[in-house]
Structure 1
Amino acid sequence: MPDLKLYNTNGGVTEVAPRLADAEADVQSIVEANMEKLLGVRFLASEYRTGPVHGGRIDSLGLDENGTPVIVEYKRGTDAGVINQGLFYLSWLMDHRAEFEHLVRDRLGVTAASQVLWSGPRLICIAGDFTRYDVHAVREHRRSIALVRYRLFGSDLLGLETVASVSGGTQVARRARRQPVAQAAEADVQGGAIRELAGAVDEVLLGFGDGVKRVERKTYRAYQRLRNFACLCPPQRSKLLVYLKVDPKDVDLVPGFTRDVSGLGHHGTGDLEVQLRTLRDVERAQDLFRVSYAAA
């Protein structure tokens, strides 16, 4: 993003210079007010106190679209301590699961609290910049960590760039033998073909980058960058359904292949449904997969 140049073309061409926020709290307030749209995270609490023994305050607490706890830490510029600080709070969170679930119950209800997924709580660090040592450090930790660089442009534009994203559970997920989607596929009449199809989808989506995390829920499998960009549902006899974060209005919908499901109930997240029956369909869908990944 430091190399990104933004121009106002109204009445000529004028460069809109990037800048940092005047204070860390300015970035925090923008993100917290729009957390679900920016990060795919439902906001729970700001400046959450971790108690007298621990002696800290978590900048933001949230729950992502798959039910995973999320800690967000902010820094106005570059701060070498942001990752360690966030990891400190992640450790506290794992030791205080009941307290977090109580918070979720108060803010989002009993159902959301009963579905909290503890297999890989996430840390998102949003700062003016990061060093190469920061990027190296997150790759050494077995935690789900994302480093996000921000810039403000003019008085009303915000830019976010994912500098590094590491999934603590990715390798385990790739080695897993029996996942909910795979189990459902095995039970299908055409289990062998469906397993091959699901494997092809898995390979394509995980292949977009090392930071892609695969999250298993009972009713779908999510592929996540900063936000979900694809959700794979168990097969319906002879096809797989994948839901993407792509606006159906931007797609030439093809009956039997793509469908607008905005406003319709379904498992997973995303308004564009892609129906996959053959490996050729997976190839046809790759551009749509890539568009959704780029926007996540």
Structure 2
Amino acid sequence: MTEVLPRLAEVEADVQGLVEAHMETLLGVRFLASEYSTGPVHGGRIDSLGLDENGSPVVVEYKRGVDAGVIIQGLYYLSWLVDHRDEFERLVRDRLGATAASKVLWSGPRLVCIAGGYTRYDVHAVREHRRSIDLVRYRLFGSDLLGLETVASVSGGVPVSRQARRQPVAQAASGVQGAAMAELATAVDEALLGLGDGVNRVERKQYRAYQRLRNFACMLPPQYTKVLVYLKVNPADVDLVPGFTRDVAGLGHHGTGDLEVQLRTSRDVERARDLFLTSYAAA
């Protein structure tokens, strides 16, 4: 065995180039633009712009080492972005098409900072802020390995309350069966939120996404007899059980993930816990 020592990039642009070339794989974000100008009045350039899996606008800022300025700079650009929604949607339309532009989710624009490190003051400041911010530490290993580690992740800086955790994705069918499915959806919600720190929940009309740096689970509104959850787990690595797990790679469905889990009772939630953890770990 030989030890592969971690190192920082020679220049910031090296990190930016790597991430932009593989942004969807690394961050779950579709790349839109690099060094995007904010115009003569604001006088700046956003390192990277993108659109995440749920349609949220994403500003990505990079620093080679430890630099508190990356958060302040990123928040400045995020505020600019929120004030220039039409311009961003035109960019999405030009790059990804009219359908993607019509589904931009402005309730949760995100800032992703990628740097060599952060201080405890950076982490504390992010957790006190009202924006969705991810602090990501990078390291290069040898000549061909890149590691990304989420240091802090907040969704609007407001933790999910106990009351909010009890709210189902959407109203299920009425009656006893409907109430049972709503209760089951709440149990699934609590299980996914309880997997670890830094789980953000994103509400879309068709589904609810559970996200670290990327989505790891998407839950649909409860049906009459079951709750469907889609996970970022390779179906080929799972012993599929008819009526419980299904390979949906290549099949159209709301949310993201190739493994469909069908939950009908609270016991199914326990059966699915290892699959939840696998998807969470991969995100």
Per the normalisation by structure 1, the TM-score is 0.91
Query: Which residue of 2 is the match for residue 275 of structure 1?
Result: 262
Query: Which residue of 2 is the match for residue 113 of structure 1?
Result: 101
Query: Which residue of 1 is the match for residue 19 of structure 2?
Result: 31
Query: Which residue of 1 is the match for residue 272 of structure 2?
Result: 285
- Give distance in 2, aligned partners of 1:291 and 1:166: 21
Q: Is the 8 A contact 1:123 1:144 kept in 2?
A: yes
2:211 aligned to which of 224, 231, 239? 224
Q: Is the 8 A contact 2:168 2:182 kept in 1?
A: no
Q: Is the 8 A contact 1:222 1:268 kept in 2?
A: yes
Question: Are 1:54 and 2:42 matched, yes or no?
Answer: yes
- Give distance in 2, aligned partners of 1:207 and 1:240: 18
Query: Which residue of 2 is the match for residue 8 of structure 1?
Result: none
Per the normalisation by structure 2, the TM-score is 0.95
What secondary structure, in the 3-state scheme, does the structure 2 residue paired with 1:288 have? Answer: helix
Query: Which residue of 2 is the match for residue 97 of structure 1?
Result: 85
Matching residue's letter, 1:273: E
The verdict on how the C-alpha distance between 1:200 and 1:170 changes in structure 2, with shifts beyond 3 A counting, is farther
Q: Is the 8 A contact 2:128 2:157 kept in 1?
A: no
Query: Which residue of 1 is the match for residue 125 of structure 2?
Result: 137
Query: Which residue of 2 is the match for residue 18 of structure 1?
Result: 6
- Give distance in 1, aligned partners of 2:77 and 2:151: 21
Deviations 1:231-277 (A, max 9, x none): 00123320011000011111111111111111111110000110000
Question: Are 1:295 and 2:282 matched, yes or no?
Answer: yes
- Give distance in 2, aligned partners of 1:288 and 1:57: 41
Alignment gaps of 5+ in structure 2: none
What secondary structure, in the 3-state scheme, does the structure 2 residue paired with 1:259 have? Answer: strand
- Give distance in 1, aligned partners of 2:115 and 2:100: 29
The verdict on how the C-alpha distance between 1:25 and 1:109 changes in structure 2, with shifts beyond 3 A counting, is same
- Give distance in 2, aligned partners of 1:178 and 1:209: 18
- Give distance in 2, aligned partners of 1:69 and 1:187: 36
Alignment gaps of 5+ in structure 1: 1-12
Deviations 1:82-122 (A, max 9, x none): 11111111110111001100100100011111110000100
Question: Are 1:147 and 2:142 matched, yes or no?
Answer: no
Q: CA RMSD in A?
A: 1.8
Question: Are 1:266 and 2:237 matched, yes or no?
Answer: no
Query: Which residue of 2 is the match for residue 243 of structure 1?
Result: 230
Q: Is the 8 A contact 1:215 1:223 kept in 2?
A: yes
What secondary structure, in the 3-state scheme, does the structure 2 residue paired with 1:155 have? Answer: coil
Q: Is the 8 A contact 2:127 2:157 kept in 1?
A: no
Question: How many residue pairs align between the two structures?
Answer: 283
How far off is 1:173 after superposition?
8.0
- Give distance in 1, aligned partners of 2:24 and 2:162: 28
- Give distance in 2, aligned partners of 1:161 and 1:213: 16
Question: Are 1:76 and 2:64 matched, yes or no?
Answer: yes
Q: Is the 8 A contact 1:166 1:210 kept in 2?
A: no
